[in-house]
């Protein structure tokens, strides 16, 4: 019996806390075999991004072809996609596969470094969102993509609806990490609006939370779970990863991908 599999199409993080490094660590925790297609290389650490090199689109295409000709894909997750041409290439490939797909519209790092060209924002809704079972923006990303202000839970619900009705995704998860109070996320699957709540963990060590959360959802979808169930399990997973995050480096430390196994390894 083969393992469950998931493919991440995203940028790398030399510091190991975000990007494909975080994605594959997360998939492993859900006993899902992770594969990767690199879109960009970053020279970064917990203090920020020093330099970015975007993979040429022909090589991006070569990576996708190398996966499809040999390996099964049960679910797909995308992260950092920097150009319109890359978005088109990836979107066309995903559209032909019809696999569960989680789109994390990564735009800016936690330290404020832009990871996406301006024209790519429109390309997301044109080439990627229509294929996505769920788009997972945080509040600043949702505000940018929708051109609205999000200050309340009601605003989050409105934003989730607009991603489906206006931008074309099948579902949207608006992450409320930038608001005060409980850590509340809102999921709209095109039919039902659901709310997920966890205690807010007070820490500066949140590097890679978005990548980790989206990858956990993709891994759960790969295992055959419904989207609401995948989000529920992943919400708890990322909360524990933040709760047991690491004081590594001099900036925003990474989350703990093996938080669920603390005490198991001696």
Half-sphere exposure of 160 (CA within 13 A, CB side): 26
Residue 152: Cβ within 10 Å count: 11
Phi-psi region of 260 (alpha: psi -120 to 50; beta: other; left: phi over 0): alpha
Residues 223, 228: Cα–Cα separation, whole Å? 13
Active centre residues (catalytic)? 175, 206, 208-211
By three-state DSSP, how is residue 104 classified? coil
CB 181 within 8 A of CB 200: yes
**Helix residue spans in the chain (DSSP H):** 19-29, 57-68, 84-95, 118-123, 139-146, 153-165, 209-222, 227-243
- Nearest alpha-carbon partner for 25 in 171, 207, 232: 207
């Amino acid at each position: 019996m083969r393992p469950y599999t998931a493919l991440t199409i995203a940028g790398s993080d030399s510091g190991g806390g975000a990007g494909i490094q975080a994605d594959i660590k997360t998939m492993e925790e859900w006993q899902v075999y992770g594969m990767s297609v690199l879109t960009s290389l970053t020279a970064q650490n917990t203090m920020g991004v020093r330099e970015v090199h975007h993979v040429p689109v022909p090589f991006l295409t070569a990576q996708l072809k190398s996966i499809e000709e040999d390996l099964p894909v049960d679910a797909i997750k995308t992260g950092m996609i920097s150009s319109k041409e890359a978005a088109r290439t990836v979107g066309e490939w995903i559209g032909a596969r019809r696999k569960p797909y989680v789109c994390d519209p990564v735009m800016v790092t936690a330290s404020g470094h832009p990871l996406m060209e301006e024209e790519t924002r429109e390309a997301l809704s044109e080439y990627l969102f229509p294929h996505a079972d769920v788009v997972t923006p945080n509040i600043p990303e949702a505000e940018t993509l929708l051109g609205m202000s999000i200050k309340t839970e009601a605003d989050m619900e409105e934003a989730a609806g607009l991603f489906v009705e206006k931008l074309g995704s099948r579902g949207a998860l608006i992450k409320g990490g930038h608001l005060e109070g409980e850590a509340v996320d809102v999921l709209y699957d095109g039919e039902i609006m659901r709310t997920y709540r966890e205690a807010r963990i007070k820490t500066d060590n949140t590097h890679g939370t978005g990548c980790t959360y989206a990858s956990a959802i993709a891994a759960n979808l790969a295992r055959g779970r419904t989207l609401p169930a995948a989000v529920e399990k992943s919400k708890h997973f990322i909360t524990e990863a933040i709760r047991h995050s690491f004081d590594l480096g001099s900036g925003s430390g990474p989350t703990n991908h093996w938080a669920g196994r603390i005490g198991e390894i001696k």
